[in-house]
Amino acid sequence: MEDIRSVLSQFKTKKSEKINAPEKSGTGPDNTPSTSEIPDVFFDLILKDYKLGRHEISLLMYLYRQIWCRPNLYKSHGIGPLNSYATLCSILGVTMEQLGADLRSLENLGLIETIRSGQYFIRKYFTEKLDAQFGQNYDEFL
């Protein structure tokens, strides 16, 4: 009869599988960095004129990339996918209260509009005036 240790050593444990599994960064295929196209007006006008805080910039860029830089069914409408607040908090590293304050702030500035809780409309060029200037229009939603 074989020694029990030799039999058990043939089986891999879940713990050893996790150690050997490659880490996924979520930045792109094969852990290569990805890029997103952000209009220059964001850096030239929006940051200068609106004096956004770090958390607001992170949130706005996250939502903007969701809508305009990644595959999105509602891209022609400027509307993003439905987001979970808990997921947004963990991705952005903020509390639920901070997320709520940032969403209200961006909405008060007119940089985002709430479609429904967790789903937002963001203009391609951030403001209605800039959209008109650059000829951006949107398909009707509904």
Amino acid at 44: D
CA angle (69 as vertex; 101, 126 as ends), nearest 5: 50
Residue 69 confidence (pLDDT): 92
pLDDT per residue, tens digit, the chain (142 aa), is: 567 777 767 777 665 555 554 444 454 455 667 788 999 999 999 999 999 999 999 999 999 999 999 998 889 999 999 999 999 999 999 999 999 999 999 999 999 999 999 999 999 999 999 999 999 998 876 4
The burial class, CB within 10 Å (0-12 / 13-18 / 19+), for 136 is middle
Q: Report the largest interatomic distance among the alpha carbons of the chain, rounded to a whole angstrom.
A: 83
The pLDDT assigned to 25 comes to: 47
> What's this model's pTM, rounded to 2 decimal places?
0.74
CATH of domain 40-133: 1.10.10.10
Domain ranges of the chain: 40-133
